[in-house]
Structure 1
């Protein structure tokens, strides 16, 4: 095989979601890059790349949920190894961007951890980041490198169309005010109105009052959010929609974190 004919890119995966990476590699008719992840007895992680990546465009698929900090550290260590092994570019594919909810200072003396993660990625050697449904789209501005912000909204909308949903009997519901723009995109795809669950509270677990802005009586409701963590917000929203007369309630989210 001539140099010109050699494969010029490769896909690596670590431990966070290897089945997803294997499906990606299979669709590209290629095998995942070979790398060993070794855990030392004191908790340290060592990664050894077992093939040449010199001059190659490397795509690293590593979601950052479930064992968040370990997955982030694995990712950074492999990126450092790739950089030192003379990879041409390092493209980080983040199906789930951890710490995205810490995107601003809501209280005095709080960190902006989403920016810290962006800084770590760039310092470790990332040339491009590919993310899916960031909790806060403005996180793209935390990077000085290209960020491809992909959305699953149209895919999820197609699923509901295939179920026969849409039209006058359906409404897309934002489970809170921060999800209005996301829910409007879904509503536009389905050509249906939106409603908003208006929750006034000091803490997510102790709401003072909950109401619904919009008409959901005798409607099929699609609760749409970017992620479900403990499920408290979605469960509360579903209860309120039921009380307000919704006939059926569907829940859609890109990131099924499901902590605990």
Structure 2
């Protein structure tokens, strides 16, 4: 087998700009030019997906960068077909870099005769010969156990901690981290501990199915700068209502930090018209023109973190070291300098 000189990156159509940013960042780290592998990922007239890799990948360590975001089915099939093409071309190892893992919300049976689609997707990914998965902020941590291959789950909270410490450096004493529901308390608590701030919870209850939730704030938010923390923002209904409830409960202002900005349907309009001062998301999902144009939505890059994680996997060194702000600080150097 030939000696692997550099890790090789290939991207589908889901988030090409993030893939290019990761390649640029890796080029900076390595001191050599790392480009995306030349390939075409196209559709026939009946929307069947076709992949052709133009470069030799025999014996190479391949990384496919492809979030399975909207359209989830198309992007998932692109990932699976690219993996098959690489394995049939004798790639030594194929790692799926999935910044946003779609179908993660279907991680358990909530009622009778429903599927566990996250497990089905995990089986499909493993079945193509993919040997490792790199993702970020899985909706449910137990999804790692759905795979029979190693899964590295990165966290956005160290990057959010750096951003909060930079953006709110003059009023950190007034900051309060808020979980928008009881299920997200662990995630919010972890970020609160990182920046040394108190924690509050918005408790959501429904009297009947389909009714608008009644929300209650647990904790005193009077005069506080509240920061709502969650992993996914889809239609933004719950998020915007939580922000309103916090203001009604005496909060001075409300900001939100959400890892994956799905932002479907009326989400952007709701956020623009809401009482939230700002919404910060990552670029794990390709932002639309509408998202980029929104005045109170800001995007934090994940390319530095993913580039370092890919290099660590390639070198065989620790990925969990990236969970520490002290490790991530130098990687994001310049972005959060005083």
TM-score of the superposed pair, with normalisation by structure 2: 0.74
Asked if residue 28 in structure 1 is aligned to residue 43 in structure 2, the reply is: no
Distance of 2:209 and 2:229 partners within structure 1: 18
Q: Paired residue for 2:7?
A: 9
Q: Aligned-pair distance for 1:206?
A: 2.6
Q: 1:255 aligns with which of 246, 260, 267?
A: 260
Distance of 1:189 and 1:119 partners within structure 2: 35
Structure 1 residues 86-142: Cα deviation after superposition (integer angstroms, max 9, x where no partner): 000000001000000000001001100011110000001110000100010110000
Q: Alignment partner of 1:117: what SS?
A: helix
Q: Paired residue for 1:97?
A: 101
Q: Aligned-pair distance for 1:207?
A: 2.9
Alignment map for 1:1-260 (pairs within 5 Å):
7-29=5-27, 30-165=34-169, 167-201=172-206, 206-260=211-265
Distance of 2:122 and 2:2 partners within structure 1: 34
Contact persistence 2:165–2:172 (CA under 8 A) = no
Contact persistence 1:177–1:198 (CA under 8 A) = yes
Higher helix share: 2
Aligned-pair RMSD on alpha carbons? 1.6
Q: Alignment partner of 1:225: what SS?
A: strand
Q: Aligned-pair distance for 1:174?
A: 0.3
Contact persistence 2:122–2:146 (CA under 8 A) = yes
Q: Aligned-pair distance for 1:45?
A: 0.6
Q: Alignment partner of 1:25: what SS?
A: helix
Q: Aligned-pair distance for 1:9?
A: 2.5
Q: Alignment partner of 1:115: what SS?
A: helix
The one of the two structures with greater contact order (alpha-carbon pairs below 8 A, sep at least 6) is 2
Contact persistence 2:178–2:228 (CA under 8 A) = yes
Higher strand share: 1
* Stretches of structure 2 lacking an aligned partner (at least 5 in a row): 28-33, 266-338
Q: Alignment partner of 2:197: what SS?
A: coil
Q: Aligned-pair distance for 1:210?
A: 1.1
Distance of 2:109 and 2:52 partners within structure 1: 38
Q: Alignment partner of 1:195: what SS?
A: strand
Distance of 1:145 and 1:27 partners within structure 2: 27
Contact persistence 2:230–2:258 (CA under 8 A) = yes
